[in-house]
Amino acid sequence: MSTLQDKIADRSVRVAVIGLGYVGLPLAAAFAKADFCTTGIDVNHGKVDAVNAGHSYIPDVPDDDLATHVRSGRLAATSDYDVVGEVDAAFICVPTPYDAQRAPDLSYIEAASKSIRPRLQPGQLIVLQSTTYPGTTEEIVQPILEESGLKAGVDFHLAFSPERIDPGNKQWSAYNTPKVVGGLTPACTRLAADLLRQMGAPVHPVSSTRAAELTKLLENTFRAVNIALVNELALLAERMDIDFWEVVDAAKTKPFGFMPFYPGPGVGGHCIPIDPYYLSWKAREYDYYAEFIELAGEVNQAMTYHVVDLVSRALSLHGKPLSGARVLVLGVAFKRDIDDARNSPAERVIELLLSRGAQVAYHDPYVPSFRVGGNVFHREPVPLESVELTEEELAAADCVVIVTDHRSVDYERVVRHAKLVVDTRNTTAGVSGYGEKIVRLGAPLLL
Ligand SMILES: NC(=O)c1ccc[n+]([C@@H]2O[C@H](COP(=O)([O-])OP(=O)(O)OC[C@H]3O[C@@H](n4cnc5c(N)ncnc54)[C@H](O)[C@@H]3O)[C@@H](O)[C@H]2O)c1
């Protein structure tokens, strides 16, 4: 019987990808593209049906590619975990959100591990990909899997390899972004690394699962802290009557030792606003307070309040109170050119606007409906639908707030028809002749 190592070498490894979301579907497609027989497992039957019909719901996975893999028999999806008993390797790509108090919610990882446990086979490789705090693979996944009677690192292989996918990024994808891999034992690391190399990704092995887990959190904390830094300086620049965007553009001409980050309405998505808190939560177990993380979170969260303050100030300079004003929010996805609105700063901005009495509508070419509220910021849940970006809609708004700068929107047209624009992304910088009605975050208030 051939070993896992042999099967990796001749690409006869059968792979399962558990959780077919923004991370799992591109990974499953990448394995299928590399000629591995791949099965996606998801508890969401709608996603399973879509994959089997060759329909992609993730913009980074083109329909054509998915359909080709499904037709060739290299990719299928199911909600039945029994397939785990038939594969050689399984990758866990389930969500790792936090709760209302920003404590890690590992219930999805636990559920997936418990579903694998009764089907676990000797010689299998299990790789956790979900972003989480250092220790999760060994403290949560390993004990659950070992309840099967099989021992990790001896009877089966266990590793952690973080996902670094950047939705919407055309240059770096699941195929070419280097993968960091840390196994429970050197053999676990080698097998996971070899398999990922065969999938096509460059691999950087590290000495442990915990080093791999911390690597991902370092990357996301680095972003959170640097975004907080420019947000803080942008607020200062507003008071000093300096255009901070011009300052970042100037600083980035330095060819070494500087990397540009830009201010904005806050951070969103499934990574930057969440992952650092996984680390600060875990740090407390070690009598350690990760103050940079908490401070960055505080500064970045305050930006949504600042945006609402800018809207309120801009409106009052136009003789209009925020209460009763009609506000059109442009863009609710958490960043440009994607359809993912999870934890978007727009959510809090809209909740704060509503709780201060504004009437709010939104337009987002990628997000047809959006739900806010049902929390301490706005008790009532409010379902919203994207309105068309007509001249009438723009003109009827007392203020248009650009929260996400999708490239497909014509911002000159927006400014031309709007009465007042609050721009949190500097997307109107190139629009001239309307200075008196544009308020840019991080720039002097010209009104
Ligand atoms: N989205 C990103 O850009 C990104 C980037 C890097 C890392 N990550 C991390 O990757 C992980 C997954 O994120 P995502 O954005 O793909 O989430 P997602 O919500 O898009 O997808 C997760 C999928 O898992 C499925 N699922 C939940 N419980 C399951 C279970 N018990 N068994 C099988 N399927 C189950 C869900 O139905 C969903 O389809 C998270 O830890 C996230 O932090 C995300």
- Strands 179-183 and 157-160: what pairing? antiparallel
Ligand 1 pocket test, candidate residues 49, 93, 221, most atoms within 8 A of CB: 93
Q: What whole-number distance in Å separates Cα of residue 74 and Cα of residue 101? A: 42
Cα 20 to ligand 1 centroid, rounded to whole Å: 7
What 3-state class would DSSP assign to 12? coil
The residue contributing the CA closest to ligand 1 atom 7 is: 163
Mean pLDDT over each residue of the chain, to the nearest integer: 95
pLDDT for the residue 100: 83
pLDDT at 2 over 90: no
Q: Which of 262, 206, 280 is nearest to 442 (CA)?
A: 262
Nearest CA to ligand 1 atom 21: 21
| CA angle, residues 157, 136, 228, in degrees to nearest 5 | 130
The residue contributing the CA closest to ligand 1 atom 15 is: 22
Helix 24-33 and helix 45-52: axis angle, to 10°? 30
- In whole angstroms, give the CA distance from residue 220 to residue 19: 21
Average pLDDT (393-410) is: 98
Q: With cut-offs at 50, 70 and 90, classify the pLDDT of residue 446.
A: low
Using the mean position of ligand 1's atoms as its centre, give its distance from the Cα of residue 79 in Å.
Answer: 15
What's residue 173's pLDDT? 83
* Tokens coding 373: 């509220």
How far, in Å, is the centroid of ligand 1 from the Cα of 19?
Answer: 6
Q: For residue 112, which atom of ligand 1 is closest to its CA? A: 31
pLDDT interval class at 447 (50, 70, 90): low
Residues of the chain above pLDDT 90, percent: 92
Does the pLDDT of residue 431 top 80, yes or no? yes
pLDDT at 247: 98
By the 8 A CB rule, do 172 and 194 touch? Answer: no
Output the pLDDT for position 1. 57
Instruction: Please list, residue by residue across 77-86, b when 16 or more beta carbons sit within 10 angstroms of its beta carbon and e when fewer do.
Output: bbeebebbee
- In sequence order, the β-bridge partners of residue 440 are 423
pLDDT digits (tens, 9 = 90+) for 133-178: 999 999 999 999 999 999 999 999 999 999 998 887 888 987 889 9
Nearest atom (ligand 1) to Cα of 162: 7
Pick the residue with more confidence: 354 or 60? 354
Which of 17, 18, 22 most suits a substitution to test ligand 1, by most atoms within 8 Å of the C-beta? 22
Residue given tokens 């379902």 in the structure block: 383
Q: What is the pLDDT of residue 197?
A: 96
Confidence of residue 338 (pLDDT cuts 50, 70, 90): very high
Nearest CA to ligand 1 atom 41: 130
CA of 422 to the centre of ligand 1 (A): 34
Ligand 1 centroid – CA 94 distance (Å) = 4
Task: Quote the CA–CA distance of 301 and 381 in Å, as a whole number.
Answer: 21
**Ligand 1 atom closest to 22 (CA):** 16
Task: Check: CB of residue 135 under 8 Å from CB of residue 118.
Answer: no
203-205-210 Cα angle (round to 5): 130
Higher pLDDT, 228 or 434: 228
- Supply the residues annotated as catalytic: 271
What number is the average pLDDT over the span 394-421?
Answer: 97
* Confidence (pLDDT) at 101: 87
- AA identity, residue 147: E
Q: What is the Å distance from ligand 1's center to 23 Cα?
A: 6
Q: What residues line ligand 1, using a CB cutoff of 6 Å? A: 18-24, 41-44, 47, 93-96, 108, 111-112, 130-131, 163, 165, 167, 270-271
Minimum mean pLDDT range among 245-249, 257-261, 431-435: 431-435
Q: Say whether pLDDT at 258 is over 90.
A: yes
Residue 255 carries which side chain, given as an amino acid letter?
P
Q: Which 3 state secondary structure label does DSSP give 127?
A: strand
Mutate to test the pocket of ligand 1, among 270, 274, 337, 342 (most ligand atoms within 8 A of CB): 270
Read off the pLDDT of each residue in 28-35 and give the average, rounded to a whole number: 95
Atom of ligand 1 minimally distant from the CA of 24: 16
Backbone dihedral angles phi then psi of residue 40, each to the nearest 5 degrees: -95, 140
Q: Is 129 helix (H, G, I), strand (E, B) or coil?
A: coil
pTM: 0.93
370 band by pLDDT with thresholds 50, 70 and 90? very high
270 pLDDT band, cuts 50/70/90, is confident
Half-sphere exposure for 17 (CA within 13 Å, toward CB): 30
